[in-house]
Amino acid sequence: MRYNRKIKRTYSPRYTERKEFFAEKEIIFRSGGNARVIKLSSRFQIVALIVLLLASVWGMRAYHVYNKSDRIIYKKDMELVRTKDAYDELMGDFMAIQRNIDEVLSSSKNKEIETYKKKALIVEDKIKQLSAEKGWDDQKVNEKIDLNEAILQRDLAAAERDALREQLNDMEVAVNNIKKAELDVFNKVEAIASSEINKIKNSFSKINGALKAQGLYFNPLANSKKRDSKGGLPDKESFIELKDKVIIDKISNIYKVVDDVEYYREVALGLPFGKPVWSYWVSSKFGARSDPFNRKITGHKGIDLASRPGNKIRIMAKGRVTKVEYSNRGYGNLVVVDHGNGFSTKYAHMSKIYVKEGDVLGVNAAIGEVGSTGRSTGPHLHYEVLYQGRPVDPMPFIQAKIS
């Protein structure tokens, strides 16, 4: 007798150990039948993640600061334009008021005389009517009329004098208020212009610190345009109707300060103020350094700004391209720009060049991209600033601000 026996199998689940997120990992490289194993420890993975996060945060913050500074510069420029427009409009209104004061006085006097004549005719008619009804003597009536008319004229003259005096007082108060408002506007315009001049002068002082280290000095006033400029009112005949010396002196001083601002800004456009690449870190400073290839102490004529390959390189001052070449002296792809006033700049190790010799460029014009051509250990921009043909430290120029 056969029995079918069913064997019961119990379920026993397998539990696999759950690996940590930063568990030790191995990277295997196979080449030519050989295998090479690189182990990544948990600590290394955590440090790499932190560095990546910090770099991302730093990049976002740098981008935000750059955009915010552009907005602030634009806002300040617009405030200065609006202030100048308000000043011009206020000056026009003030001169118009002064021209119309005599017309207002003369028109007021004519109206008062006409009113007096009408009143006198009404009174004269009433007196004649009463004299006819009462049978008065015409001679006596005429004497009374003449006497009354003289009294009316005296009273009218006194009233007119008081009215004119009151009008003059009101106009004097209005003119004084206008003068006060004008002086407030003048002081604000003068303060804004003086602040701009001080910023530019501070930038000149910073770069002269680097120049003095090389026995050099840059004088921004050594310019024929500045020597020929006298400042003050451009056309004194247009202000001949103004008799207030305080206003005239204030306007003359404002024109002089604004003229100085325009001059200093024009000079600053020819100096390489600012950074030629938007994002960078300094990998080698100006002056004596250890050569990255032979470790000998040598002089470094510029500054190395390490940056991502392909980042655009821009010139920070207007100028003309005087050299574009591949240099065998270690510079690799090289561009040289002459900015005038004795200043020139060099840009080396570029991966791409956008310009050619003879090109005339404006401020912030792109001339190429960051690369690693020539005698280079990695992607960076070798940046030189030269004054009168001698290299000077570029860092004060990069850090200087004129707005």
Please check whether residue 276 is in contact with residue 324, taking contact to mean a CB–CB distance below 8 angstroms: no
289 and 208 housed in the same domain = no
pLDDT of residue 398: 92
Residue 31: inside a domain: no
Rounded to an integer, what distance in angstroms lies between the CA atom of residue 328 and that of residue 336? 15
Instruction: Tell me: do 264 and 285 sit in the same domain.
Output: no
Same domain, 255 and 369: no
Residues facing residue 371 across a β-bridge: 380
Q: Among residues 191, 166, 10, which one has the least CA distance to residue 83?
A: 191
Looking at the structure, tell me whether residues 243 and 173 fall in a common domain: yes
Query: In the listed set 268, 298, 322, which residue is the last one of a domain according to the structure?
Result: 268
| Last-in-domain residue among 246, 268, 290 | 268
Residue ending a domain, choose from 240, 268, 296 = 268
Q: Do the Cβ atoms of 197 and 254 come closer than 8 Å?
A: no
Q: Could you tell me the residue range of the domain that residue 143 belongs to?
A: 81-268
68 domain residue, yes or no: no
Residue 69 in domain: no
246 and 173 housed in the same domain: yes
At residue 301, the pLDDT reads 92
- Tell me the C-alpha distance between 53 and 59, whole Å: 10
- State the pLDDT at residue 1: 47
Domain co-membership, 109 together with 182: yes
Q: What is the structure's pLDDT at 124?
A: 64
The answer to whether residues 316 and 220 belong to one domain is no
Q: What is the pLDDT of residue 11?
A: 55
Q: Tell me the whole-structure pTM to 2 decimals.
A: 0.52
| Pair (325, 263) in one structural domain | no
User: What's the total number of domains in the chain?
Assistant: 2
In a domain, 21, yes or no: no
Is the domain of 231 the same as that of 98?
Answer: yes
In a domain, 358, yes or no: yes
Is there a domain that residue 28 lies in?
A: no
**Interval 236-273: pLDDT, tens:** 555 555 566 777 777 888 888 888 888 888 888 889 99
**Residue 383's domain is classified under what CATH number?**
2.70.70.10
What integer pLDDT is reported at residue 146 of this predicted model?
Answer: 64
- Mark the ranges of the chain whose per-residue pLDDT is less than 70: 1-21, 76-77, 80-121, 123-149, 152, 223-244, 401-403
Residues 177, 318: one domain? no
* Secondary structure E strands in 32-132: 34-40
Residues 346 and 245 in one domain: no
- 230 and 354 co-located in one domain: no
Do 385 and 207 touch, CB atoms closer than 8 A? no
Residue located via tokens 């390959």: 309
- The answer to whether position 295 is within a domain reads yes
